[in-house]
A = this chain, B = another copy of it.
Amino acid sequence: MKLEGIYPIVPTPFLDDGCLDFASIERLVGFMAGKQVHGLAIMGALGEGHKLTEGERAAVIAKYRALLPRNMGLVVGVRAPATDPAVMMAVKAQELGADAILLGPHGVQKDAALLGYYQRVSKAVKIPVIVHDYPAVTGISMSVELITRIYESADNISTIKLEDPPTGAKMLALAKTAGTGLKVFGALGGLYALEEMELGAVGIMTGFVYAELLVRMYNWCQAGRWEEAASLFYDFLPLNRWEFQPGIGVSLRKRVLKQLGIFSTARVRHPGPDADDKAVAQLFRIVRHLQQKGYPLADAPA
């Protein structure tokens, strides 16, 4: 299993009574596998990982592991306000079959405290640990210097999920200090996916229901056919931009997945928020625009 390519961050489905919805997970895995993605990332911010109990987390991880084809990687998000619980979560995820940990920072904005956290958690597991650099969600800024020190001091940390825009400038700076050994996944809803691939990103790890578009773009990039990659990216950008709207990203994706018959409900755990009907309608208008351009995208029943 290589930690490269397109890894959709997926939402966690719930039933109407608030319980986990394992049947929807099963449909989702099939849906995504059919798009030829390289793996799935669960329990990220989009996965509402922080809204689950420990038992629920374990059940979800185990379910994905059981369902996922062996050629698809399973990345599990871990983030905790302190090092010990993060270690326990990471160890548990490894036990349950995670291929890699996506580790978000605790909430203390001090370099030494962050370095120690990444060192200790990564040491506690044998699988790769991906640094999650997403200040808009975590509230923590990680400088190029800090990330470089984390990378250099931990054997199983050689990848970062970079969501601190402008991402191009940070990629260039990291390439100077950490070299090419530090691999970068683009994210941020794929808003800068093309430009990140041009700068050497090894893949995109983000929530986008229509992940087949990212897969196709990735394949053009791998083949060095940048013109085709660019044309494709510019075409689908209206759609992934819309999915990525702040605040309602989780709800919007769940509503789309429900309309596509993958999820049985669009329930988001309180305090939500929920996307409005208009936002969903505007999304499908973009889908239909792309269909008219010839993209065979799944649509909601009329």
Contact = CB atoms under 8 A, between A and B. Distances in A.
A271 B117 contact: yes
Given A53-B88, A246-B166, A83 B271 contact: yes
A282 interface: yes
Contacts of A272: 113
B237 A82 contact: no
A82 B246 contact: no
A23 interface: no
Contacts of A116: 270-271
A44 to B, nearest CB: 14
A248 B82 contact: no
Contact of A166 (B50, B53, B248, B289): B248
A231 to B, nearest CB: 8
A166 B245 contact: yes
Contact of A82 (B50, B169, B235, B276): B50
A300 interface: no
A185 to B, nearest CB: 18
Interface string A64-85: 0000000000000000111111
Interface string A187-226: 0000110010011000000000000000000000000000
> Top 6 closest A-B pairs, CB basis?
A113-B271, A51-B82, A83-B270, A50-B81, A166-B245, A165-B246
Given A50-B82, A114-B271, 13 more contacts: A48-B82, A51-B85, A82-B270, A82-B271, A84-B270, A110-B143, A110-B271, A111-B143, A166-B279, A169-B276, A172-B276, A199-B278, A230-B285
